[in-house]
Structure 1
């Protein structure tokens, strides 16, 4: 249970599904309830597939390019921390947003459930590097199962939040979502620094 809570909390903080809500509402503006539900489901499935593939295949990609786990932790820590700073400063939505022309093009291609919703909004560099690191650290069957369950639950919450995005906006309002995102941003910064320090410590232990 402790491992599950750790992985779930880390993934939820990095992915920040609540911060996706205003952008999702903007991207699906004018869509019917059925279309919104379908987009929510497809985006959540895409996120789950991307994260699972990253978890199982990511380490082989690292091996191919000769990237060590220590380097990944340092890079992932920097990415996660920078995302946290963006959340804390209220710039996260702006950085991940789309202008009207790109939004319309995305609708024309019918790909918003994959890009930008799944990549890079929820399954971004932070969450992908986090899962690759987890795969290196947790290798037995029970740990892998726990990780996959945590990923599935976070994706389920993403689906629920996107499906009910209009209600969330009404209840919390832009200011409420912004405030919660800033709190999550602080947690994400701490998580990023933790990974950064773990990578540096691991690298120093390998020195002669």
Structure 2
């Protein structure tokens, strides 16, 4: 009886562990992507567009975002090896990059993320803004790429790769939903609500950045 009971429980424990890992990967990436701060720029650049076209731009941008982050996930090891960068170096540099991004979220400017006047003018003239500036740099910018590269620098199993891939897809889905409901979301939260949400994401991102640096320093001290 005890053996049979443990066999029944094992898949549940395993599933709980996988869900916990997936949730951790998702939070780490989504906190940096933070599509809420991209909403004001998205609304400005799609001003005057039909709802259908605005939704198409959001969908294409999040698909591009998925492709960009997956490229760095699966190609990150080759990039690291090509430039002769140590795993510790990637973790520390990634942590610093994430912390820098987090500080900008903790002190959000009015209206969320900003583009330069020149970039905004160029974007408005483009028939398609889904790749630039929406997918890059607003959604999959240096911060989110640094997170994925830091993951790629670890000794990952097939399961880890699958979970990180799933987390990226879920983040992209979440970003699409946020951009799709951007007009209603901005009205609902208001400036104060958006600033509060951004600061919360910034705090989570800051903690992630600090942990990456700790993970990078530990082997150096131990060695």
In the TM superposition, residue 169 of structure 1 has moved relative to its aligned partner by 0.7
In the TM superposition, residue 101 of structure 1 has moved relative to its aligned partner by 4.2
SS across alignment from 1:116: helix
Aligned length: 205
In the TM superposition, residue 108 of structure 1 has moved relative to its aligned partner by 2.2
The answer for the alignment partner of 2:172 in structure 1 is: 155
SS across alignment from 1:4: helix
Matched, 1:67 2:85: yes
Bigger Cα Rg: 2
TM-score, scaled to structure 1: 0.92
TM-score, scaled to structure 2: 0.86
Q: Distance in 1 between matches of 2:25 and 2:110?
A: 22
The answer for the alignment partner of 1:34 in structure 2 is: 52
Matched, 1:173 2:190: yes
Matched, 1:197 2:214: yes
Matched, 1:58 2:73: no
Q: Distance in 2 between matches of 1:100 and 1:147?
A: 36
The answer for the alignment partner of 2:151 in structure 1 is: 134
Unaligned runs of 5+ in 1: none
User: Are the counterparts in 2 of residues 47 and 118 from structure 1 also a CA contact under 8 Å?
Assistant: yes
Matched, 1:124 2:173: no
Unaligned runs of 5+ in 2: 1-18
The answer for the alignment partner of 2:3 in structure 1 is: none
Moved over 4 A (4+): none
